[in-house]
Amino acid sequence: MNDWGKDFMAQDIAEVLLSEEVIRARVKELGEQLSRDYAGKEVVLVCILKGACVFFADLARQMTVHIKMDFMGISSYGDAMKTSGIVRITKDMDTSITDRHVIIAEDIMDSGLTLSHLTRLLSARNPASMRICCLLDKPERRECDITPDYCGFLIPNKFVVGYGLDYEGRYRNLPYVGVLKPEVYSDR
Ligand code: IMP
Ligand code: MG
């Protein structure tokens, strides 16, 4: 295997926060928990693009109930490090969620503004139920009253990349979650 690309990216990582093994084990647990909680039901598992794509693909394969996969593209105004919470749908789901059980798969909850805006928007479509499943949660940063129904890991207030999470579109393909060296973003 050619590891050049990963080593190159790894130079920008200060610390591995969650290894591949740790993530794999926790995603398996989440999948098992969701399968128990939704036993006998069909779920619409919604991937919030792009950050949740890796988590979504792994989580879906740990679920044993019937799911329909759907995808939503969201763009929030703000800079690369922080959202303004004003979200715009750049790609809507293909399926109707009315009277369906919806699970939103998201990469990280930070201020919470993105998900609070999104859930308000999706509630108007009258799903039978709607819950949030986040891989990561930075509760210290919360600016509104929202908590994920399912959460992979609580993490400290550090900017992380990998396993789908990006800085300026990069590092999503790192297989682990790492803390980005501050000089990588303060140099620009
Ligand atoms: P919120 O609206 O502040 O909760 O922000 C959610 C979005 O901000 C996430 O979907 C990410 O795209 C981005 N984000 C927040 N924290 C981080 C981080 O540490 N690394 C990468 N992206 C982040
Ligand atoms: Mg992002």
Q: Is the predicted pLDDT of residue 1 greater than 60, yes or no?
A: no
Residue 169's domain comprises 3-185
CB of 126 closer than 8 Å to CB of 95: no
The closest of 85, 125, 128 to 109, measured between CA atoms, is 85
Q: What would the two tokens of residue 63 be?
A: 């679920």
Closest ligand 1 atom to residue 78 Cα is: 8
Which of 83, 88, 155 for a ligand 1 pocket mutation test, highest count of atoms within 8 Å of Cβ?
Answer: 83
- Residue 94 annotated as catalytic: no
Centroid of ligand 2 to alpha carbon of 76 (angstroms): 9
Q: Residue 87: what pLDDT?
A: 79
Give the Cα separation of 51 and 166 in Å (integer): 7
Q: Is the predicted pLDDT of residue 159 greater than 80, yes or no?
A: yes
Q: For the chain, how many structural domains are there in total?
A: 1
Give the Cα separation of 26 and 167 in Å (integer): 24
Q: Residue 48: what pLDDT?
A: 97
Closest ligand 1 atom to residue 114 Cα is: 2
CB of 182 closer than 8 Å to CB of 157: no
**At 92, which CATH number?**
3.40.50.2020
Q: What would the two tokens of residue 110 be?
A: 């930070």
Strand-pairing partners, residue 87, are 76
- Which residue's CA lies nearest to atom 2 of ligand 1? 114
Structure confidence by residue, pLDDT tens digits, 20-54: 999 999 999 999 999 999 999 999 999 999 999 99
CB of 127 closer than 8 Å to CB of 100: yes
Centroid of ligand 1 to alpha carbon of 119 (angstroms): 16
Q: Residue 8: what pLDDT?
A: 82
Q: Which of 110, 145, 149, 187 is catalytic?
A: 110
Centroid of ligand 1 to alpha carbon of 40 (angstroms): 33
Pocket of ligand 1 (CB under 6 A): 51, 83, 85, 106-114, 159-161, 165
Q: What mean pLDDT do residues 98-111 have?
A: 97
Task: Specify the residue for token string 């479509």.
Answer: 125
Q: What would the two tokens of residue 33 be?
A: 């928990």
Residue 39, CA distances (Å) to 47, 66, 101, 140, 182 in order: 21, 9, 12, 33, 44
Q: What would the two tokens of residue 67 be?
A: 């799911």
Q: Residue 63: what pLDDT?
A: 98
Structure confidence by residue, pLDDT tens digits, 49-98: 999 999 999 999 999 999 999 999 988 766 667 777 677 889 999 999 99
Q: Residue 86: what pLDDT?
A: 73
